[in-house]
Amino acid sequence: MPELRNFTLNFGPQHPAAHGVLRMVLELDGEVVMRADPHIGLLHRATEKLAENKTWIQSVPYMDRLDYMSMMCNEHAYCMAIERLLGIEVPIRAQYIRVMFDEITRILNHLLWVGCHGLDVGAMTMVLYAFREREDLIDAYEAVSGARMHAAYYRPGGVYRDLPDRMPQYQESKWKSAAQIKPFNDVRSGTLLDFLDDFSGRFPKLLDEYETLLTDNRIWKQRLVNVGIVSPERALQRGFSGPMLRGSGIAWDLRKKQPYEVYDRVDFDIPVGVTGDSYDRYLVRMEEMRQSNRILKQCIEWLRQNPGPVMSDNHKVAPPDREAMKSNMEELIHHFKLCTEGIHVPEGEAYSAVEHPKGEFGIYVISDGANKPYRLKIRPPGYVHLSAMDEMVRGHMLADVVTIIGSQDVVFGEIDR
Amino acid sequence: MSATLEALSQNLQEHLGDRVKSLKMLFGEVTIEVDSADYLAVMQTLRDEPALSFEELIDLCGVDYSAYGNVERVGKRFAAVSHLLSITRNWRLRVRCFAPDDDFPSLPSLTSVWNSVNWFEREAFDLYGIVFPGHDDLRRILTDYGFVGHPFRKDFPIAGYVEMRYDPEQQRVIYQPVTIEPREITPRIVREATYGNVDNA
């Protein structure tokens, strides 16, 4: 009888289902995974070390590049940490804008996730629909910050500028006739809030469409149900957060339990899973998109009625406006000091966490009173979830590894930092 | 909020007693410092004691205090800082533990208390060179295979020591000393405590 041995398989780092640069060494017994050893760090850019050598404000754009699928939520945690150390108040309108864009970001992230997860598992069309809606939301990013992905829109003390009164329009070209672009420009004819209002009106229906494609789809269920089950006890042991924890049946959401900004003023529910398998996590995320849409609507309503400042008027932190700067010596000095030396954050340490689309995203900063952080630690949710990979895939088939990576919603920008 | 913090600090003092070296409440967060000898036992108590019940370890990171405040450091250099979260009690805690030896920083591993600490300790080892006896798989995690040194230490230059390029003569990728000139556009300045004080804006 020939000798039977386990064999090892190298998965990635350039595998399309590895969601980036994940390399996994899988030990297989036939087609059953006995052990998985994820090798990460192939996208390590030492963001934390770079931040120690940049002024506080210069690191804001780095935050976008962490989890490059939910850009503004990363900035949010960073700005909140600085604001906590400085002890400054963010204007209420800026808080609403932040909440609104956090929820837009959540929808953006979950749309990409459901599309790519579909691709991995074999539902090829899902990604096309998901990207259709992402386009609208990315346009909202562009309208407000000028960048479609790496917005750098949240700043310590508020947000960079108020919501724009008009949306960018599609231009006629030799590929797109005036008749073709008309429906796109019609919804973009009003303000950003009008556009988002229109979006939030049609989005629940589109979500229903996605669900008809997936939720009761036999193949989808065969691939997801009972794959990668995590019990609530294990989820806590492994430090899970966000949809991964809620999928395991623990109703924990920082937006409800430790509300920041104006989350205590908006109305929404937290979906919770039952079995803790990949299918439950799918359902949780789908429902989260509906709830985000609800929050989005409430924010639009509030923002329409309440104009006001969006940036702190404290010029030790936020730059003065252009006009004042050019007519006033005091403002000029403030501007000069802010743009050369940067803000000084008093000595101390703070940890601020936000309910990021992927889980709890935390920023731990230590300041020694300088114009640069002494230490910045990013607590990435995906890193913790991926560290449970071995436990989750053990005993599953090779094909289920792809499902589990998908249901963890990993993005390597944040895992490798 | 502060009532919760009061309750937390009271419970901490009650159950940990003099094992808490210092307890600070700042910015709505509670920080305790523990001795490395008590570290593991304290963490075990923090998890298991129902009056504290920190079920989750959110984060653990290494810190190198050697350049703190731009002055010569007195006291220990390396610390591991962990952030704990209690789901049932809805509170957070920060625990700092300094490694006793600066030349060979070492702290007991918490993997038996919280499994989630596994990769965080690997990271602290990789970036700061803090070793965690009791950890069964203390490999490098974020840096390259075969990397030398611990890049997040304050004495490690930001550009590193080596760079990589393709050498057409040898027809392979080679490592060579860095050719980047170190430059600092904005110097690091520590002002007097009231300088950044936003109250006198």
CB nearest A377 (choices: B61, B87, B90): B61
The model's pTM is 0.90
Instruction: Decide: B113 and A381 in contact? Cβ < 8 Å.
Output: no
Beta bridge partners of A350: A365
Name the nearest CA neighbour of A357 among A89, A93, A137: A137
Nearest residue of A to residue B61 by CA position? A377
Look at residue A228 in the predicted model and tell me its pLDDT: 87
**A205 to A133, A208, A212, A290, B130: CA distances (angstroms):** 12, 5, 11, 10, 53
How confident is residue A106, by pLDDT bands cut at 50, 70 and 90? Answer: very high
Which pLDDT does position A102 carry in this prediction? 92
CB A259 within 8 A of CB A352: no
Give the chain A residue nearest B197 (alpha carbons): A346
ipTM of the complex, rounded to two decimals: 0.88
Give the pLDDT confidence score for residue A292 in this predicted structure. 93
- Using a CB-CB cut-off of 8 Å, the residues of chain A touching B186 are 54-55, 58, 340-342, 371-372
What CA–CA distance (Å, rounded) separates A110 from A252?
A: 18
Tell me the pLDDT band of B73, cut-offs 50, 70 and 90: confident
A127: region left, alpha or beta (phi > 0 left; psi from -120 to 50 alpha): alpha
Q: What is the pLDDT of residue B1?
A: 53
Exposure of B67 by Cβ count < 10 A (0-12 exposed, 13-18 middle, 19+ buried)? Answer: middle
% of chain A exceeding 70 in pLDDT:
99
Is the per-residue pLDDT at B97 higher than 60? Answer: yes
Q: Is the pLDDT of residue A334 over 80?
A: yes
For A216-275, the pLDDT digits (tens) are 888 899 889 988 899 999 999 898 999 999 999 898 999 988 888 899 899 999 999 998
- DSSP assignment of A217-253, as one string? -HHHHHHHTTSS---HHHHHHTT--THHHHHTT----
pLDDT band at B199 (very low <50, low <70, confident <90, very high): low
Average pLDDT of span A178-198: 89
Between B74 and B32, the more confident residue is: B32
- Residues B26-37: pLDDT tens digits? 888 889 999 888
B172, pLDDT greater than 90:
yes
Between B6 and B125, name the one with better pLDDT. Answer: B125
Q: CB distance A371–B31 less than 8 Å? A: no
Cα(A129)–Cα(A283) distance, rounded to whole angstroms? 18
pLDDT band at B145; cut points 50, 70, 90: confident
Collapsed DSSP state (helix, strand, coil) of residue A359 = strand
B143 part of contact set with chain A, CB < 8 Å? yes
Output the pLDDT for position B200: 52
Measuring CA to CA, which residue among A343, A348, A344, A346 is closest to residue A318? Answer: A343
At B163, which amino acid appears? E
pLDDT for the residue numbered B171: 93
Average the pLDDT over A20-26 and give the result.
Answer: 86
Cβ-defined contact of B186 to A55 (cutoff 8 Å): yes
DSSP character string of A256-325: HHS--TTTTTS-------SS-SHHHHHHHHHHHHHHHHHHHHHHHHHHHH-----B---TTTSPPPHHHH
Q: Mean pLDDT score of chain A, rounded to an integer? A: 89
Tokens 């562009």: give the residue. A142
Contact yes or no for A373/A51 (Cβ under 8 A): yes
The vertex-A223 CA angle with A251 and A414, nearest 5°, equals: 55
- Confidence band, pLDDT 50/70/90 cuts, at residue A1: low
Percent of chain B at pLDDT above 90?
Answer: 33
Q: Which amino acid is residue A139, in one-letter code?
A: D
> What is the rounded distance in angstroms from the CA atom of residue B194 to the CA atom of residue B201?
11
Indicate whether A161 pLDDT > 70.
Answer: yes
Q: Hey, what's the torsion of the CAs at A129, A132, A133, A136, to 10 degrees?
A: 180
Span A140-147, average pLDDT: 90
What pLDDT is stored for residue B131 in this prediction?
Answer: 92
Confidence band, pLDDT 50/70/90 cuts, at residue B195: low
Structure tokens at A186: 């019609």
Residue of A nearest to B88 (CA): A252
Are B96 and B83 a contacting pair, CB within 8 Å?
no
In A306-396, which residue ranges form alpha helices assigned H by DSSP?
322-327, 329-340, 381-387, 389-393
The confidence band for A82, taking pLDDT boundaries of 50, 70 and 90, is: very high
DSSP state of B52: T
| pLDDT tier for residue A417 given thresholds of 50, 70 and 90 | confident
| Nearest CA-CA partner of A371 in A339, A342, A349 | A342
Instruction: Quote the pLDDT of residue A366.
Output: 92
**Taking all residues of chain B, what is their mean pLDDT, rounded to a whole number?**
87
Report the half-sphere exposure of A393 (CA within 13 A, side-chain side). 32
Q: What is the pLDDT of residue B27?
A: 85
Integer Cα distance of A403 and A390 in angstroms: 14
What is the phi/psi pair of residue A349, to 5°? -140, 150
**Contact between chains at B142 and A41 (C-beta distance less than 8 A):** yes
**pLDDT tier at A288 (50, 70, 90 boundaries)?**
very high
Contacts of B118 in chain A (CB under 8 A): 387
Read off the pLDDT of residues A45-70 as tens digits, 9 standing for 90 and up: 889 999 998 899 889 999 998 888 88
Q: State the Cα angle at A107 between A106 and A113, rounded to 5°.
A: 90
* Nearest Cα residue to B116 out of A354, A250, A413, A386: A386
> Between chains, do B29 and A350 touch, taking CB under 8 Å as contact?
yes
